[in-house]
């Protein structure tokens, strides 16, 4: 596999240097940008596997950078910011961020989360299951009716049309579709998809569920695939 390359965009020089040093210890190639405009310019000229974005940056802020990147890529985007209000997290996740880490932070936690995102994005498991959906190890594909999840190509199509899912949306859909009819709590989904036992609030899972429904359901207000089990959590229904 080619070297993993990460882009860090933060106007705080010390944070850029700290993250770069620790990521390079993991043998990742790391580029840094001090503002959103520079980050977009660097992204346009080079391929990256993950982007870390500060929310408050000069010239172009992290939200706008995230929106722009999501029109071109589904790689993991991690928001790193001093803004810890719930609404800021919801907005960040809604526009396509895969994770939201507030400052001050534990550098070891940040590195662990980044490694988890990269692992899930770059190494897709095939597996098999006995729940009635079409999934084979050779084809690495899950299919329900017109909804197809291609695990090898990291692509989801509906009626033959490719859907624009983020990395975390894909992982959430893949996990739930691999366990049809099984009910999961928000904590269980977070543990399995975000690879962490610590669920800071329910909004992380709820926002991603809502975004997935908007993309895969014919009627998101009356979902067929991702159904709410009141008082418990969610389940994926294939029929």
pLDDT of 161: 92
Long-range (24+ apart) CB contacts under 8 A made by 133-139 are: 133/177, 133/178, 133/180, 133/238, 135/178
Sites in the chain below the pLDDT cut of 70: 1-2, 83-89, 92, 122-139, 197-202, 239
The candidate with the shortest Cα–Cα distance to 147, out of 158, 133, 134, 162, is 158
How much is the pLDDT for 124? 45
With respect to residue 65, please indicate whether it lies within any of the assigned structural domains: yes
Residue 129 lies in a domain: no
Predicted TM-score (pTM) of the model is 0.62
The boundaries of the domain holding residue 28 are 5-122
Q: Is residue 127 part of a domain?
A: no
What pLDDT does 142 receive?
A: 85
Task: Of 45, 117, 108, 116, give the one whose Cα is nearest residue 76.
Answer: 117
**Which tens digit of pLDDT belongs to each residue from 176-230?**
988 888 889 888 898 888 877 666 666 889 999 999 999 999 999 999 999 999 9
Q: Tell me: do 99 and 189 sit in the same domain.
A: no
Q: What is the DSSP letter of 27?
A: T
**173 shares its domain with 88:** no
* In a shared domain, residues 197 and 143: yes
Residues 110 and 202 in one domain: no
**Burial class of residue 152, CB neighbours in 10 A (0-12, 13-18, 19+):** exposed
| Same domain (yes/no): 34, 113 | yes
Joined together, the tokens standing for residue 97 give: 């961020």
């Amino acid at each position: 596999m080619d070297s993993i390359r990460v882009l860090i965009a933060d106007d705080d020089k010390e944070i850029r240097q700290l993250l770069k040093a620790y990521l390079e210890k993991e043998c990742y190639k790391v580029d840094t940008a001090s503002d959103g405009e520079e980050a977009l310019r660097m992204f346009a000229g080079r391929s990256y596997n993950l982007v870390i974005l500060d929310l408050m940056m000069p010239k172009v802020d992290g939200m706008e950078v995230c929106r722009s990147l999501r029109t071109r890529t589904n790689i993991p985007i991690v928001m790193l910011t001093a803004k810890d209000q719930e609404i800021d997290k919801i907005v960040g996740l809604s526009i396509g961020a895969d994770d939201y880490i507030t400052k001050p932070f534990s550098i070891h936690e940040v590195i662990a989360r980044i490694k988890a995102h990269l692992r899930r994005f770059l190494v897709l498991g095939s597996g098999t299951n006995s729940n009635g959906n079409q999934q084979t190890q050779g084809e690495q594909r899950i299919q329900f009716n017109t909804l197809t999840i291609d695990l090898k190509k990291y692509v989801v199509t509906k009626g033959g049309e490719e859907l624009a899912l983020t990395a975390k949306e894909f992982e959430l859909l893949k996990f739930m579709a691999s366990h049809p009819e099984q009910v999961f709590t928000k904590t269980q989904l977070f543990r399995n998809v975000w690879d962490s036992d610590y669920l800071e609030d329910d909004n992380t899972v709820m926002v991603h569920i809502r975004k997935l429904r908007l993309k895969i359901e014919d009627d998101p207000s009356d979902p067929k695939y991702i159904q709410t089990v009141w008082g418990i959590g969610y389940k994926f229904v294939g029929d």
